[in-house]
């Protein structure tokens, strides 16, 4: 009986292949945001990484680079490295989702509480929440200020869009505290897909960013998919 994607790590290739093919007995608790499809997808990703690793010469394992200010999410340089790995390993039939997130109405929040307090009381727990939500699905990166990036490898466009909507809903229901004052925030999310919307990550980020601006223009706290 599987309880989480973490249980997959020590499984054999044969066991992972069975799970990737849908032979899965999974117990999903009422509070869990992890679905049966997430377990199957993670099994496929682990198998893919094992295959790619076996084809490379032995080398020391490098830790992923965190961004410097908070040290919670990964850096944009790491995003470039990860994207190159994901896109080269998936082939032409694969898909990588690129999500660009921007916290709505962030400047008034800074004006109300000051930037340093918002950094500590809102941005830090927000980044921890984002990292936890993305666990086993992809990786989260800090783009700068109140902007963030998420890469979702080995997902279909439909799965990427569904995940973005779940992410948006989870954030809007989360309560943060500045001192004793409860604060709720929302995000606008733009989405682009590799290879549909382009090749280089910088181009995909730009397109996802434009889609995020469209989400803001349509009222904020929503997702928009790149139309190009």
Q: Which positions are catalytic?
A: 146
Query: Strand, helix or coil at 2?
Result: strand
C-alpha–C-alpha distance, residues 111 and 28, integer Å:
42
Distances (CA, A) of 227 to 58, 95, 96, 191, 207: 42, 16, 16, 9, 9
Among candidate residues 57, 67, 4, the one with its CA nearest the CA of residue 31: 4
**Alpha carbon of 98 to those of 10, 49, 54, 185, 194: distances in Å?**
29, 20, 27, 22, 8
- Count Cα atoms within 13 angstroms, Cβ side, for 152: 23
Residue 30 CB partners (closer than 8 Å, separation 6+):
none
Q: Which two tokens stand for residue 41?
A: 């997808």
- Alpha-carbon Rg of the chain, whole angstroms? 18
Helix then strand count (H, E) for the chain reads 8, 7
The candidate with the shortest Cα–Cα distance to 154, out of 85, 101, 200, 201, is 85
């Amino acid at each position: 009986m599987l309880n989480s994607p973490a249980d997959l790590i020590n499984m054999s290739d044969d066991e992972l292949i069975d799970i990737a093919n849908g032979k899965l007995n999974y117990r999903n608790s009422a509070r869990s945001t992890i679905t049966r499809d997430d377990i199957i997808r993670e099994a496929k990703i682990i198998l893919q990484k094992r295959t790619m690793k076996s084809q490379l010469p032995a080398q020391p394992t490098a830790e992923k680079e965190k961004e410097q200010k908070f040290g919670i999410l990964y850096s944009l340089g790491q995003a470039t490295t990860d994207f190159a790995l994901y896109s080269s390993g998936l082939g032409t039939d694969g898909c990588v989702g690129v999500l660009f997130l921007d916290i709505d109405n962030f400047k008034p929040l800074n004006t109300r509480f000051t930037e340093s307090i918002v950094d500590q009381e809102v941005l830090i727990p927000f980044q921890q929440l984002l990292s936890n939500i993305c666990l086993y699905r992809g990786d989260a990166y800090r783009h700068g200020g109140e902007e963030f990036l998420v890469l979702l490898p080995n997902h279909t466009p439909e799965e990427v869009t569904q995940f973005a909507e779940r992410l948006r809903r989870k954030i809007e229901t989360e309560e943060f505290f500045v001192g004793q004052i409860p604060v709720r925030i929302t995000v606008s999310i733009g989405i682009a897909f590799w290879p549909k919307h382009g090749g280089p990550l910088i181009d995909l980020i730009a397109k996802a960013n434009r889609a995020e601006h469209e989400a803001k223009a349509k009222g904020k706290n929503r997702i928009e998919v790149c139309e190009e």
